[in-house]
Amino acid sequence: MDRSLDPYVVCSMIYCQIMPGHKTEYFNCVLCSKRTKPNDRRHLDKGIRKYLRKRFMVEGRENSVICSKCRSNYYRDVSCRKPSATPCSTAIHRECPASETNDNRKHLSSPPSVSLQLKSTAKTHAYCIVSKKPGPKLIVVSPECRTSVFIEHDVLIPSGNRCCPGHVENGRFTTAAIQQLPTTDHAFVNRTTILSLLQEMRVLCHKHDKSFLDFDDTMTLTDTDYLSLLGLNKEDFHTICDSVRDEVKPTPSRSLRKSVAIFLCKLKTGLSNQILSTLFQTSKSSLRRAISAVRTALMISFVPHHLGFEHIRREEVIDDHTRQLAQTLFGNIEKKQAILVLDGTYIYTAKSNNFHFQRRSYSIHKGRPLIKPMVIVTTTGYYVSILGPYLADNKNNDASILQHIIKTNAEDIRSWLSEDDIFIVDRGFRDALPLLEDLGIQAEMPRFLLKGQNQMTTDDANMSRLVTKVRWVVESSNARIKRWRYLEKTLPTNQIPFIGDYVRIVCALSNRFSPPLSKSNSTEADDAEAAKMLYLSKQVNNLKRMVQENGLNRRSTQWQTVLECEIQNFPMLDEDQLRNLTCGTYQLKLSRSYIQEHIEGGCDISFHKENDRLLKVKIQSRHTSSKQYLVWIEYSDDSVVAWYCTCRAGARVVGMCSHIAAIIWYLAKGRHEQRTYGVRDWSEHVLDAADIPPAVDESDSDDSSCGSVPEE
């Protein structure tokens, strides 16, 4: 016989050979249920039986045994409870029974005795509970990890279970590990497990009661809290932390997650350092160091991958970030043209004590000091690059900034651009058009009102509408930057060196985590809308010609004033039909405000005496009190045929101005809704200095003594 075999196993084998028909009896520990060897089993004496009955409600039989480990733990536990023990240790065990069960090496663990309807994993030490792979490179699942799985996913993991290191990240199971976790429909637990779980829940609830923000514990704040405070959800926040893990080192006063949360909360909310110091329970000096460290780390390891001409190729911009409508209106699909939209945005700063910089940073247009980053986006709102920031004086208008960018070849932009690429710009870039033409770049810009003209021609107004149909995306991109409230405030002068970094970080975060402002998919709707707008841009406004030739804007005898209730034959239109007429939604959004002032307050509506399908309406300008515009609308039984307004852009037929849209919306839809327009008048809550009652002449009063002081 091999002496290396376990004697207990050898005895069992011999016993089975001698008595093959007899069932082998196994001696399991009455407490831990482990099979005991002959030299490891002990019989129960009177003291142990009484202790098991009182402490664990376990009744030992005559042939019951206890293993030497549980027996030694019993003696150790009993000795701690004797009066001779130190008061400190006795108090600990009496006041905190959970501490007795947290360390199984020193205290007894009760046997499984309660069956619960909970999802649970198998209890094992030999293999990974996720992948079922055996050791030896396994780690014990921490109590914090087990508690988080139980709270978030309703799965109970027995203590002592192990898993592969790759399944745990930041002290928590990964999402993939949770999905692969094998479970059963019930759990057989003991008193020790229940007490331990209750203690963990108590600690967690105590953390939730804290008044300061804790981003180290992923269960303290909800996904909505992350979005409100940081501008990112939990998953995106984890991604940012991983990207700067090698650059930002944790300190005794703040962890990596806390440092990143401080920086993002500063950008998102714009709160002062004093308030952030209270919320995050850290000093203001530590707060400033955290902001500086995270800003530097993001500029090194995150921004270059998501912003700048070097991070994206022209082909990606053309294929993935260019709207089909823009390609149809201005581009040529065969030429593979990149379409970029440019505009400068404003970041306001405090007045500098450096008088030279104070003069150079003062904007006459805005009437305050500021600096100007140049924003370059695609037609879907994707930030290609942020260049600058630049000064704000008359030498740094949009055209000068663009010329500086091209001539200095910022970010190697001239190599990135190709001939026949398209820039969508506003009128502030007019002085840079010759340079763009020399480079072979096609520039699209709204048309100018010629000298001596009060209104654009129909062709100019139509072409301007085509440009604004695409250019709106850069205005929305600038608004997306200002949603980070820190960049909306007036920044102190000591932050001027870092404003460019802040804007780039915000734009990189938007590229990485925010949806596009406009979809780039080639849809039939985009193609149809672009084809319709191109067709209309070549048409003339026949109603304008008729008004001018017949002098309808001067003679009033041909018109008969009516009430809007008398206009019964105006066609009823739904939202889609109205949007089809306006070629957009902006004009329709202003309709309620126009109608609130003009229709409900009284508005001149006239029928043409010779044509009962031609309306003339006088409408007030929303910008200037002394200006009023005349609107003509011609309609049929089922649609609006033509329109014309005397405002600056009222002659166009690609869509219509807001004045025309407001009248059509009200007559075709608004007056049939039977509800208020939701535009409140706040003037009753604000005083008007011009509202002074007229003086009363006392000589006109019948009683001259009224108000006088009687004689004694």
Which comes out higher in pLDDT, residue 108 or 368? Answer: 368
Q: How many CB atoms lie within 10 A of CB 513?
A: 16
Judgement on whether residues 559 and 666 belong to the same structural domain of the protein: yes
- Cα separation of 570 and 664, whole Å? 9
Domains held by the chain: number: 5
- Among 81, 102, 123, the domain-final residue is 102
| Size (the chain), residues | 712
pLDDT tens-digit profile of 632-688? 999 998 899 999 999 999 999 999 999 999 999 988 988 887 666 566 777 778 888
Q: What pLDDT is recorded for position 393? A: 94
pLDDT tens-digit profile of 57-90? 778 877 888 888 888 888 887 776 665 444 443 3
- Cα separation of 168 and 176, whole Å? 10
pLDDT tens-digit profile of 476-511? 999 999 999 999 999 999 999 999 999 999 999 999
Judgement on whether residues 268 and 373 belong to the same structural domain of the protein: no
Q: How many CB atoms lie within 10 A of CB 79?
A: 11
Judgement on whether residues 546 and 609 belong to the same structural domain of the protein: yes
With 0.85 as the threshold, say if the pTM is over it. no
Would residue 474 count as lying in a domain? yes
Contact 444, 326 (CB under 8 A): no
pLDDT tens-digit profile of 131-187? 888 877 888 888 888 888 888 888 888 888 889 888 888 778 888 888 888 888 877
Residues 6+ apart with CB under 8 A from 503: 345, 347, 373, 386, 389, 481, 487
pLDDT tens-digit profile of 189-207? 777 777 777 877 777 666 6
How much is the average pLDDT of 612-620? 88
State the pLDDT confidence band at 112, using cuts at 50, 70 and 90: low
How much is the average pLDDT of 395-403? 95
Domain that holds residue 184: 114-208
Contact 257, 215 (CB under 8 A): yes
Judgement on whether residues 392 and 497 belong to the same structural domain of the protein: yes
- Where do runs of H (alpha helix) occur along 302-397? 314-320, 324-330, 355-360
Would residue 157 count as lying in a domain? yes
Backbone angles phi, psi at 428, to 5 degrees: -70, -10
State the pLDDT confidence band at 94, using cuts at 50, 70 and 90: very low
How much is the average pLDDT of 215-223? 84
On the question of a cis peptide bond just before residue 250, with omega within 30 degrees of 0, the verdict is no
For residue 394, what is the domain's CATH number? 3.30.420.10
Q: What pLDDT is recorded for position 619? A: 87
Judgement on whether residues 162 and 293 belong to the same structural domain of the protein: no
Judgement on whether residues 481 and 560 belong to the same structural domain of the protein: no
Beta bridge partners of 341: 377, 424
Judgement on whether residues 69 and 128 belong to the same structural domain of the protein: no
pLDDT over 70 at 237, yes or no: yes
Would residue 388 count as lying in a domain? yes
Least confident range from 10-14, 214-218, 279-283, 486-490: namely: 10-14
Residues 6+ apart with CB under 8 A from 633: 614, 615, 617, 640, 642, 643, 660, 663, 664
Judgement on whether residues 34 and 75 belong to the same structural domain of the protein: yes
- Among 102, 126, 150, the domain-final residue is 102
State the pLDDT confidence band at 521, using cuts at 50, 70 and 90: low
Judgement on whether residues 163 and 70 belong to the same structural domain of the protein: no
- Among 525, 551, 567, the domain-final residue is 525
Judgement on whether residues 545 and 513 belong to the same structural domain of the protein: no
Put the strands of the sheet holding 628-635 in their side by side order: 559-562, 605-608, 614-620, 628-635, 640-645
Q: What pLDDT is recorded for position 171? A: 77
